[in-house]
Amino acid sequence: MDESTADQTSRRTFPIVPDSEDGADAALREYAGGVRRGCKEGSVHLAAIDVSILAVVLASVAHFALGALWYSPMLFSRQWAAALDIKMDGSGGGIAVPLVVNFVGCLITSVVVGILYLWGGGDGPLDGIVCGLLVGACVIAVENLNRPMYERTPWALYWINSGYSIAAFALVGLVYSLVA
C-alpha cells in the first residue's frame, strides 16, 4: 500500500482528524489507530474524540439559562407547579443543591451532544441543531413518555418537560457547533 492509499485508509477509518501542514494529523491518526485496535472498520474510538471544553461550557451555560427562562413565571412555572401540585411560596427548602446538580447535568449532556456532533461529522449550525433535536426528541422525550403512561403524571407536565428538553438540546447543539 503506497503512502497516499494508507493516508486515505486512515482518514476513512478516522474521519475526525483534520489535515495540517506540520504532519500532526498523521501522528494523531497513528495514535488513534493504536487505541482503535479491535474497533470495527469505519468506527471511531471514544478516546480519540477531541471535544471542545469552551464549547461544552458555553453550551452548558446556554442550557442552564434556557431552563431558568423555561421554568420562570414568564413561561411555564405556574403550569409546571400546578401539574405537580407544588406551592410556589418558598417553603420548599433550599434550591442551591438542585441548581448545582442541574448544572453538572448540563455539562454532562453538553459533552455527549458534542461527541455525537463530532461522531456524526457535524459541519455547522444546522448539523448541531439536528444533533440536539435528535437527542431531545428521540431519546429524552420518548423516554419521558414513561412518566404519564406508567406513573400517571399529568400530560401537561410531559409537554412542559419534554418541550424544554427538545429546545435545550437543540440549543446545546447549536452553541457547540458555533464554538467548537
> Would you state the torsion angle of the CA atoms of residues 118, 31, 60, 178, taken in this order, to the nearest 10 degrees?
-50
Instruction: Delimit the domains of the chain by residue range.
Output: 3-47, 51-179
Give the pLDDT of residue 12. 39
Q: Which amino acid is at 157?
A: L
Give the pLDDT of residue 95. 85
What does the pLDDT profile of the chain (180 residues) look like in tens digits? 455 544 444 433 444 445 555 555 555 555 454 444 445 555 555 556 788 999 999 999 999 999 999 999 999 999 999 999 888 777 667 789 999 999 999 999 999 999 999 988 999 999 999 999 999 999 999 999 999 999 999 999 999 999 999 999 999 999 999 998
Q: How many CA atoms lie within 13 A of 3 on its CB side?
A: 1
| DSSP, res 17 | P
Give the pLDDT of residue 25. 56
Cell output for 163: 418541550
CB 36 within 8 A of CB 14: yes
N-term to C-term CA, the chain:
34
CB 179 within 8 A of CB 59: yes
Sequence-distant (6+) residues with CB within 8 A of 169 are 109, 113, 132, 133, 135, 136, 140
| DSSP, res 18 | P
Give the pLDDT of residue 94. 79
